[in-house]
Amino acid sequence: MNLSIFNSKFLKNRILRSLIAVFSFLSIYQFLIITKLVKPSNGMHQWQNNLIRLQRYAYQDFSNLNLVIVGSSIANNLPASDIGSSVINLAMSGGCAQTGIESVARKSSKPAILLIEINETINRKVDEQAIRSIYNPFLYNLRLYIPMLREEYQPVSTLSPRVFSIVNKIMSLARLVNKPKTIRSVASGTNRDNQLTKTLINQAIEKYTTPLSEKEKSLFREEAEHIKFQISKLNKDGVRVVLFDIPRDPHLQATVQGKQLKALAKELFPVSNYEWLPEPAPRDWITYDGVHLVTSDAKDYTAFLKNQLFIKK
């Protein structure tokens, strides 16, 4: 009997000590985050990166935002900082504008301008999993006051990139002698594999030579109706909504599907009812794959965007 009581007390003490140890570790980690000794991570993969950017927008105070950009990976590489400090790019890699629109609609403080990318990527559905995760009332308030529960402060996400960075630097030094040569493109301002780029552009052109199916058109119309509904609500909240599409490889835009998509977008969002950003002057826009602009051209388009929205009278 005495042995049983001893074992019971010992077990309770072990559990208590474990709980104290866990609580102490979490308290220390929270303190390191608050004091900024632990730096936030941008994520280890695409979906996590999207979630982190959505969470940052949801949990930070953005009461004086001039502009929020929403869209897909096509708009994702537009450097928001080139436009101004009160600008956020919420375009989702591998996603669509609807996810960003939903996040803006749920936030109490609205931006002065919402710039929405409209093209075939709106055929993708809103990321319901991410939106539910962020705006669940209980989890939202928990993460609001306990930052370590946010995705950007997950220990694996925070530590792994630093470990990989060190390993990559060591491997880069080891490969320095046998480093393969890359072609420097003066026009693009970035290293590009010209052969790979040409292959990807040709594949995109081949894909776009196929006319849109009725199913694709139907999905496009369905998602457009959802976007229009959200736009009407945002307009009532005083948000200026501007639609846009980023230029691509000229050969891609000249395809059957390229022309169809452009016509369908203007049909569903007529200029008589919706504000569209004017198209930039014709030029040979340089892309990695026919769709995504290289860094320098993304900066050029961002400068054009800034001029149209904030500078041009």
The string of pLDDT tens digits covering residues 178-220 is 544 443 343 444 455 688 888 888 898 888 899 999 999 999 9
Residues sharing a CB contact under 8 Å with residue 78, sequence separation 6 or more, in sequence order: 69, 89, 91, 246, 298, 301, 302, 305
CA dihedral 95, 101, 102, 104 (to 10 degrees): 130
Are 31 and 98 in the same domain? no
Q: Residue 165 and residue 21: Cα distance in Å, rounded?
A: 31
Are 245 and 286 in the same domain? yes
Are 85 and 211 in the same domain? yes
The domain containing residue 63 runs over which residues?
46-162+183-311
Q: How many domains does the chain have?
A: 2
Average predicted confidence (pLDDT) for the chain: 83
Q: Any idea which residue has 């965007």 for tokens?
A: 305
Residue 168 inside a domain? The answer is no
Residue 177 inside a domain? The answer is no
Are 115 and 145 in the same domain? yes
Query: Which of 6-37 are b and which e, b meaning 16 or more Cβ less than 10 Å from the residue's Cβ?
Result: eeeeeeeeeeeeeeeeeeeeeeebbeebeeee
Where in the chain does DSSP place strands (E)?
67-70, 87-89, 113-117, 183-185, 190-192, 240-244, 275-276
Is residue 270 within 8 Å of residue 313, measured between CB atoms? Answer: no
Question: What CATH number should be reported for the domain holding residue 131?
Answer: 3.40.50.1110
Are 8 and 66 in the same domain? no
Most confident of 82-96, 142-156, 164-178: 82-96
Are 7 and 126 in the same domain? no
The predicted structure's pLDDT at residue 11: 54
Are 150 and 82 in the same domain? yes
Q: Residue 276 and residue 268: Cα distance in Å, rounded?
A: 12
Are 73 and 27 in the same domain? no
Are 54 and 33 in the same domain? no
Are 27 and 60 in the same domain? no
The 10s digit of each residue's pLDDT in 74-111 is 999 999 999 988 999 999 999 999 999 999 999 989 99
Residue 169 inside a domain? The answer is no
Residue 170 inside a domain? The answer is no
Are 5 and 145 in the same domain? no
Residue 176 inside a domain? The answer is no
The 10s digit of each residue's pLDDT in 6-39 is 455 555 677 777 777 666 766 776 666 676 677 8
Question: In a 10 Å sphere around its CB, with 0-12 CB exposed, 13-18 middle and 19+ buried, how is residue 231 labelled?
Answer: buried
Phi-psi sector, 36: left (phi>0), alpha (psi -120 to 50), beta: left
| pLDDT at residue 55 is higher than 70 | yes
Residue 154 inside a domain? The answer is yes
Are 131 and 221 in the same domain? yes
Residue 157 inside a domain? The answer is yes
The predicted structure's pLDDT at residue 196: 85
Residue 88 inside a domain? The answer is yes
